[in-house]
Structures are given as C-alpha cells and as structure tokens.
Chains A and B, each alone.
Chain A
Amino acid sequence: MERTYEYLERLKKYIISYDKPAQIMEVCGTHTFQFFATGIRDMLPPHIKLLSGPGCPVCVTPTSYIDRVIKMLEKYPDIIITTFGDMLKVPGTNRKSLVHMKSEGKDIRVVYAPEDAVKIAEEEKRPVVFLSVGFETTIAPIAAALDLAEQASIDKFYLLLSHKLIIPALKALLSDPEAEIDGFILPGHVSAIIGKRPYEPVLRKYGKPGVITGFEGHHLIIGTATLLKLIKEGKSEVINAYPEVVRDKGNRQALSLINKYFIPTDEEWRGFGLIPQSGHALREEYRHRDAKRAFPVEVPESQDPPGCLCPEVVKGKKRPPECPHFGKGCTPLHPLGPCMVSSEGACAAYYKYRREDI
C-alpha cells in the first residue's frame, strides 16, 4: 500500500514539474468531468493544456437526428420513443427538443439500459423505437438488447441508429492540419470493448502517443504522467494503464455481438461532418428493425443553434468559455447546444466547475 502511495506521489511530482508545453486531448467526456472533479486539472502546470474531445455521444449527434425523431413523433403518433435521459434536452432546429414533445403528450420514456426498451416493446402493443446513440461501450448492450428481441421474436422493437466509432474519429482529428494535439488520454471503457490494438496503427501513423486510462483519481495521475513522459521522449506508443478492466484484445464476445447485427457505414458527426466508416447500419437480415426505414419522414435541412461553438468544442479547437453564449444564453437549464446538455459535455463540465471564468 505504501509502495503504491509512493509511486503515485512520484508520478504527481513528475506532472507538477513537467517543464515543456503540451496539449493533451482527453477523448472521453467522463474524463473531462473527472479531471475537474478530482482537482487534477488544477494541479497541472499552466503550460499543460487539456483539450476535450469528441467522446460525448450526445454532443456529436447531429441536429438532424433530433429533427427526425420529432418528425417521426408527429407523423406516427402511436410510437413510443425510448431513450437515455441525456437526449431529452438536446435542441433540434429552432431549439425544439424531446422535452417539448413530451409536454405535448408524446410517449417518450427514459430507460437506463437498452434491454429495458425491449421489455417495454414486449408489454406494449405499440411500436417501440430506441434512440440508439453511443460509442462502442454502449453499442455492446444495444446489440445484446437486439439479440434478446430477436430470440424472443419481439417484432415491434426498432432502433434509430446514430452509432459512433472511436478510431475513425481519431483519424479525422489527426488528419486535420490545424490539429494541435500532442497525445491522447484514451477512453477506458470504449477500450474495454475494442482493446488496445486498433489504436496503434493510427497513432503510429501520426506519431502521437496514447494512454488508455481509467476514471478514478489514481488512474488519471498514472495516465497523465505516462502520457507526458511519452510525449517528452517523442514516442508514439499506446500504453494500457487500465489493465484491470481493459484487455489488449478487447472483449471478444461483445465485439462478435456487435458484428452480428451491425456493419460500419459513413456517419454524420456534429463538428466533423461525414466521417467515412465511423458509424453503423443494421445488417441486411435485420433491416426490419431500422426505425428510419419503418417510419420514414421527410426532414427539412436542419439548422444548428446560431453562434453555438459546440462543433468546435468537440474537436478541442475552442474552450467552452470562449463561446459568447456560455453561461449567458446557454446554461444546463436552458441549453443552446448539446455540449451544455449532456452530463459528459465539455460546456456542462466547465459550467459546473469553472463558472468564475464567465
């Protein structure tokens, strides 16, 4: 125990006395929150900058997705929308959100697990659409829920897909000539699914290091210190600093469940536009579960909230306090953009912990 303490103290001293400027991206929104909540962000010397990345699924879901759900609810009034709670307040075009639709009497239910949506479909006689939004960690339980619906022949369960895959997003970030990222704190729980290996070719190609990091204070210290050391030594390695949860090969069962139902396809991201092979479509034999196909609607061109810097924030190019709306016209109670809505959004994190910057 004492040895662990000494080890952490040593890493902490290394971080505090680090003498070179470095820009680190924490890809995952939960890391953004944890860097604030643990106080480790305040411990960093001023020349080490933390940039929040695209790992907040709600933040990178395009406005057109919300607009589609609203159109579906208007055209097919008997459907039940099931969703993770974060999606409710995300503004669509003209700031209309699912909260507004719920107040108009539409049947929108928040679930904790995708499987809960399958149970609703089993009990109700009406079609149930699950808002299938998330990265690999969330796609695994979605695939498991779909598997149960298939096994039990629950026909009225549909997915409205907006899956996001992390490796194509990292490629998109790094191929941007304006990107100023020296290394990545890589997402612990996405890595539990995909493992360490998929990161290696992309980070090697761009000569950047990455450290797979857990979410507790000691994880953040180990991850940050190790990443800084790799940056200083000019190494583009990927290190798994969360081995108690992440295996190098990832989770084989989860990956095969995902591959059973989904195939990669081009996907629209807020801030990035279309990223090749960065999302999912249902495999042909399961296309009857596709809510987009089962409940077609015309979605007029969506409009992002004017002046909202969320598209730049998810790429690490702007910090939330740089947005003219931050903390003024845009607060967690009345969000203008999704980065202020989600419990993983960078704007929500800054609002909670850094209101004095306003």
Chain B
Amino acid sequence: MCLGMPMKIVEKLDDAHAVAEALGARRTINIMATPDVKIGEYVMVHAGMAISKVEEKEAEEALEIWSELMNIWND
C-alpha cells in the first residue's frame, strides 16, 4: 500500500525541503514530518515525503523492542 524508499539526506534546502539520494539518483523531498533530520542521515521516503528517520541500532527504543523480540525467542 505504501512503498517506501530509504534515501540519504545530502542537502537541506529550507525548513520543508531537502535533497536526498538513493542509488545515485537525487531528488528534492519534503521533510516537514522529519524537521530535525541532518545531512548524512537516512529517511524512508514515500510519495516525495520523508515519513520517518531510519534509525540505526543505537536508538534506545529500537533496542528495547529488539530485546523484547529476543526474549520471545529465548523462552
């Protein structure tokens, strides 16, 4: 229903827009839903908008959930 493409932020244009890159292709995307995104970070892009930052594993919440998952499998 909602195909997404992970893209890397390469330039911030204004409060609402940034240039993002994936597989060598660049396009302007909307970043109103991820306003604090920084150059070099990855976002999930759907219909021209970054709908979420793609967090690396250090994100605390992500780790908690992964450990929750691991607990399920360690039963």
Contact = CB atoms under 8 A, between A and B. Distances in A.
A30 B69 CA distance: 24
Contact of A147 (B32, B46, B57): B32
B19 to A, nearest CB: 14
Contacts of B73: 7, 10-11
B52 A30 contact: no
Nearest to A56: B1
B1 A30 contact: yes
Nearest to B29: A113
Contacts of B61: 243, 247-248
A246 B55 CA distance: 9
Contact of A243 (B4, B34, B35, B65): B65
Contact of B51 (A29, A189, A244): A189
Contacts, number: 126
Interface residues of A, number: 51
Interface in B51-69: 51-52, 54-57, 59, 61-62, 65-66, 68-69
B40 interface: no
B7 to A, nearest CB: 13
Contact of B46 (A141, A240, A247): A141
A251 B72 contact: no
Contact of A240 (B2, B56, B65): B65
Contacts of B46: 137-138, 140-141, 189
Interface in A220-274: 222, 226, 229, 239-241, 243-248, 251, 253-254, 257
A135 interface: yes
Nearest to B56: A244
A131 interface: no
A239 B66 CA distance: 10
Contacts of A148: 16
B22 interface: no
Residue among A28, A30, A254, A344 facing the most chain B CB atoms (10 A cut-off)? A254
Label chain A's interface by main secondary structure: helix
Contact of B52 (A28, A56, A138, A247): A247
List 7 tightest A-B contacts by C-beta distance, closest first. Answer: A113-B48, A137-B2, A141-B49, A243-B62, A189-B2, A254-B33, A55-B1
Contact of A245 (B35, B47, B48, B54): B54
A41 to B, nearest CB: 18
A337 interface: no
A144 interface: yes
B5 to A, nearest CB: 11
A215 interface: yes
B23 interface: no
Contacts of A116: 48
